[in-house]
């Protein structure tokens, strides 16, 4: 058994946004690696029922679907309690995966729009972390993973809310990594890379996008190594290495300005 698979063997995991896309791929891959139990938390009840049944057909009794609006702290607390009971008082891994991409011109977005974006992409993770910490402290260890985005590394025009919320989530996760280190509770941020998931909405995923399963395997490998920041693909590696390099500021100014102008003309997203 590989070191990656060994890390997940007999583990209990919770995945928010777990009924589709990368979240579902994370859950299914962990089960294939020998995870003991996996909890899918999602607001989409139809997907949740269907995918939980499918996973249990392959891994009897090892998957639990919990309908949960992660922007509601009370629902999050109930979901974590159900997950702990299902896991026999253990939650070894929490994946803060629920989220959405947000598009639009800054001047057309209201404060209410911003509040909704932060509720889903940032505060939901805050609620989940607060709820799971007592469980992890009681068992003496745990690993919390936040699925961010390459946009946290290269903030993009017409995606101000997406850029800001994912950058905030990355900052929260990495700062907490060191607050909780001595309690044997690990934290990791992970970019999924460009992946063909429902986050693209009515648009087609960019050419060359990887599958959710490919993304999940990359993320799980980095998490097993306790990496601070897992990069989902080579584009994210490049972004993390160079976007804020002062020697390349002119290059990124030119690139992002070109993106902004193309988006204003409706000519593309990259």
Catalytic residues, by residue number, are: 162
CB 5 within 8 A of CB 30: no
**What gap in Å lies between CA 131 and CA 119, rounded to an integer?**
16
Give every strand in the sheet of 185-190, ordered side by side: 63-67, 37-42, 12-16, 93-96, 142-147, 185-190, 229-230
**In whole angstroms, what is the distance from residue 10 CA to residue 116 CA?**
36
75 CB-contact burial (10 Å; exposed 0-12 / middle 13-18 / buried 19+):
middle
| Tokens of residue 40, six digits | 């899918």
| 249: its two tokens | 């500021």
Q: For residue 9, what are its two tokens?
A: 């063997």
CA distances from 67 to 78, 93, 270 (A): 10, 19, 35
Cα gap 98→256, rounded to integer Å: 27
- Please state, in angstroms and rounded to a whole number, the distance separating the CA atoms of residues 30 and 33: 5
């Amino acid at each position: 058994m590989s070191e990656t698979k060994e890390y997940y063997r007999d583990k209990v995991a919770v995945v928010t946004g777990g009924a589709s896309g990368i979240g579902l791929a994370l859950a299914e891959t962990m089960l294939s690696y020998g995870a003991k139990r996996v909890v899918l938390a999602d607001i989409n009840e139809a997907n949740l029922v269907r995918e939980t049944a499918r996973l249990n057909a392959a891994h009897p009794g090892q998957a639990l679907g919990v309908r949960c609006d992660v922007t509601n702290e009370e629902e999050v607390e109930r979901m974590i309690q159900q997950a702990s009971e299902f896991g026999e008082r253990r939650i070894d891994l929490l994946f803060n995966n629920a989220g959405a991409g947000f598009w639009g011109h800054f001047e057309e977005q209201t404060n209410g729009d911003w509040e909704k974006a932060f509720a889903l992409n940032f505060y939901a993770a805050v609620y989940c972390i607060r709820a799971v910490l007592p469980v992890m402290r009681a068992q003496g260890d745990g690993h919390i993973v936040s699925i961010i985005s390459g946009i946290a590394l290269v903030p993009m025009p017409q995606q101000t809310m997406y850029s800001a919320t994912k950058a905030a989530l990355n900052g929260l996760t990495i700062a907490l990594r060191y607050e909780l280190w001595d309690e044997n509770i690990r934290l990791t941020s992970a970019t999924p890379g460009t992946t063909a998931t429902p986050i693209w909405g009515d648009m087609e995923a960019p050419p060359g996008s990887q599958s959710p399963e490919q993304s999940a395997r990359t993320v799980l490998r980095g998490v097993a190594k306790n990496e601070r920041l897992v990069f989902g693909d080579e584009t994210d590696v490049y972004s993390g290495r160079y976007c804020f390099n002062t020697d390349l500021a002119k290059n990124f100014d030119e690139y992002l300005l070109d993106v902004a102008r193309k988006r204003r003309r409706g000519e593309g997203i990259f």
